[in-house]
Amino acid sequence: MRLDYAAISDVGRVRKDNQDSGYAGPHVIAVCDGVGGAARGDIASSTAISALRGLDAGPADGHRDDLLGHVSGALHRAHDKIGELVDDNPALSGTSTTATVAVFDGERLGLGHVGDSRAYLLRGGELRQLTKDHTFVQTLIDDGQITEEESRVHPHRNLILRAVDGIHDLEPDLEVVELELGDRLLFCSDGACGVLDNTRLADILGSGNADFAAVELVRASLAAGSTDNVTCLVADVAEGDPDTGVEPMLVGAAAELPRRGRGVTGLFRGHRSGDTGELEPVDAEIPDDIDGYATRTDPIDPEEARYAPQPPRRFTWVRRVLALVAVVGLVWVAAAGAWSWSQQQYYVSEYDGKVAIYRGVDGSLPGLELSSPYEVTDIEMDSLSDYDRSQVEEGIGAGDLDTARGTVSNLVPQSGTDAGSTGTENG
């Protein structure tokens, strides 16, 4: 089987720069969403794509023995290249990228994933999400605290827990996916899947060819109010030789950055005002300098490139240790400040069948309770009216302690009992 693909990336209606990068070729589909803002997330995503597209160099047979080994090796190579950029230019500290990449051997996909970009499979009209987001809101979904729909509007929906950053240990999710003729694949950044639900995605993917679907997905994402860059790569599984078909396509920051480099001619032949484009086959060279950062394509064998000896660089470990200490310090200060604020908040809820005043915020994080009973009253929950009981069970926000005590006092006439306190306090 072969892949018939289309790729498109749009800067969107809010962002000034496109920090997404994507690549589609006979054997590789990859999307990366750069993170870092001023730290140049576009550099991170384009650097990662330059490493991942090296997987497209060989024939399909070259990947069949160890699909996931090739994918993992390329992801680690991308990880190392970003680390080298940060070591050489501290101004890039904090940059990182998501990465969702698949290698196609003519029958199967070897899928690797880090972050919150996504891969989907449409088969027989049914849409299946192949990847799982490495995000804070996904942990809340897994714990049953919020729904998928609620996650789309959660204030911390953009907080990712894993990324390709060149610093932290890289732990990609790896999976082999068996394909069938007629399957359609979608790889996209969160600018699309963050605003379009599965029903809408399936509806668009189920119509037209790959080009139409890719364009319509971007259009629909922007119409739905996406404030991020939007990148969509659509690939159809068709009958034929995987080494024949359309030329590879490079889109987003990875296509834009070479145009700003020095001495670049004839590389970009794109359309849509330069947002998307096609690239020469993967063995074509990319200039060594993209805004001063090396981005040469990996050698043909990604595993060899991954473990190739590197020349020693002085004091690299010192810079990494100092950067890690600084990050840990900032996280500790932020956490301490948030905890201190939370312990000045109060609310009224239930404790062991009685009305109680809690100190903290009504919620929890995995492994951490954000509140505890501060005063347990003598008011039995069963003595309250149905309305008051439901309010207490849901938790009544009070702000400060005096307001909380006033809220409890207002419950007394309806309960028919005297307000009292056991004096239980967790100081």
pLDDT per residue as tens digits for the range 11-46 = 988 888 899 999 999 999 999 998 876 568 889 999
- pLDDT band at residue 274 under the 50/70/90 scheme: very low
Residue 427 within any structural domain of the chain: no
Higher-confidence residue of 266 and 356: namely: 356
Residue 38 is predicted with a pLDDT of: 55
Residue 34 within any structural domain of the chain: yes
Element (H, E) at 42: helix 41-52
Based on the structure, what is the number of domains in the chain? 2
Find how far residue 154's CA is from the centre of its chain: 14
Residue 99 within any structural domain of the chain: yes
Alpha-carbon gap, residue 19 to 32, rounded angstroms: 8
Residue 162 within any structural domain of the chain: yes
* Torsion angle, alpha carbons of 143, 148, 149, 151, to 10: 60
Length of the chain: 427
Q: What is the mean pLDDT of the chain?
A: 78
Residue 303 is predicted with a pLDDT of: 23
- pLDDT band at residue 7 under the 50/70/90 scheme: very high
- Are 292 and 356 contained in the same domain? no
Higher-confidence residue of 73 and 336: namely: 73
- Are 23 and 101 contained in the same domain? yes
Alpha-carbon gap, residue 120 to 130, rounded angstroms: 5
Compute the average pLDDT of residues 228-233.
Answer: 94
What single letter denotes the amino acid at residue 32?
A: C
- Are 248 and 394 contained in the same domain? no
The per-residue pLDDT for range 292-350, each reduced to its tens digit, is: 333 333 333 332 322 223 334 445 566 678 888 888 888 888 877 776 777 778 888 98
- Are 189 and 303 contained in the same domain? yes
pLDDT at 54 over 50: yes
pLDDT at 217 over 80: yes
**Which of 286, 310, 334 represents a domain boundary (last residue)?**
310
Alpha-carbon gap, residue 396 to 346, rounded angstroms: 9
- Are 303 and 355 contained in the same domain? no
For 249-311, give the DSSP string.
Answer: EEEEHHHHHHHHSSS--S----BGGGTEEE---TTS---S-BTTB--PPPPS-HHHHHT----
The per-residue pLDDT for range 280-290, each reduced to its tens digit, is: 333 333 333 33
The per-residue pLDDT for range 161-195, each reduced to its tens digit, is: 888 988 888 889 999 999 999 999 999 999 999 99
Q: Is 385 helix (H, G, I), strand (E, B) or coil?
A: coil
- pLDDT band at residue 264 under the 50/70/90 scheme: very low
CATH code, domain with 91: 3.60.40.10
- Are 277 and 350 contained in the same domain? no
Alpha-carbon gap, residue 357 to 350, rounded angstroms: 8
Residue percentage of the chain with pLDDT more than 90: 36
Contact residues for 374 (Cβ-Cβ < 8 A; gap 6+): 346, 356, 357, 358, 359, 401, 424, 425, 426
Helix-then-strand count for the chain, H and E:
12, 17
Q: Is 112 helix (H, G, I), strand (E, B) or coil?
A: strand
Q: Is 18 helix (H, G, I), strand (E, B) or coil?
A: coil
Strands 118-123 and 184-188: antiparallel
Residue 329 within any structural domain of the chain: no
Residue 64 is predicted with a pLDDT of: 60
pLDDT at 373 over 90: no
- Are 155 and 246 contained in the same domain? yes
- Are 299 and 392 contained in the same domain? no
Residue 404 within any structural domain of the chain: yes
Residue 23 is predicted with a pLDDT of: 95
Lowest mean pLDDT among 179-183, 236-240, 308-312, 357-361: 308-312
Region of residue 102 (left: phi > 0; alpha: psi -120 to 50; beta: else): beta
Residue 421 is predicted with a pLDDT of: 45
Residue 317 within any structural domain of the chain: no
- pLDDT band at residue 423 under the 50/70/90 scheme: very low
Residue 426 within any structural domain of the chain: no
Burial 402-422 (b: 16+ CB within 10 A, else e): ebbbebbeebbeebebebebe
- Are 292 and 367 contained in the same domain? no
| Structural domain harbouring 359 | 346-415
pLDDT at 112 over 90: yes
Find how far residue 279's CA is from the centre of its chain: 26
- Are 90 and 216 contained in the same domain? yes
Compute the average pLDDT of residues 210-225.
Answer: 94
- In contact, 368 and 339? CB cutoff 8 Å: no
Residue 249 is predicted with a pLDDT of: 92
- Are 259 and 372 contained in the same domain? no
Residues β-bridged to residue 354:
351, 380
- Are 61 and 144 contained in the same domain? yes
- In contact, 107 and 183? CB cutoff 8 Å: no
Q: Is 414 helix (H, G, I), strand (E, B) or coil?
A: helix
